Amino acid sequence: MGPAKVGMTVGELKKQLGANAEFKVMSPYIVDFDAIAVSQNGKVQYYILYPAAKPLTDSDKIEYLLTENPAYRTEKGVGSGTPLKQAEAAYGDATLSYNTAIEGREYVSFANEPAKNIAFRLGSFGDNSLVGVYPSASGEFNQTKQYKDDGIIRAVRVDCQGQSCGN
Q: What is the pLDDT of residue 53?
A: 86
Q: What is the pLDDT of residue 99?
A: 87
Quick: pLDDT tens for 78-116.
Answer: 999 999 999 999 999 999 999 888 778 899 999 999 989
pTM above 0.85, yes or no: yes
Quick: pLDDT tens for 30-89.
Answer: 888 999 999 999 999 999 999 998 999 999 999 999 999 999 999 999 999 999 999 999
Q: What is the pLDDT of residue 68?
A: 95
CA atoms within 13 A on the CB side of 125: 20
Residue 165 pLDDT exceeds 90:
no
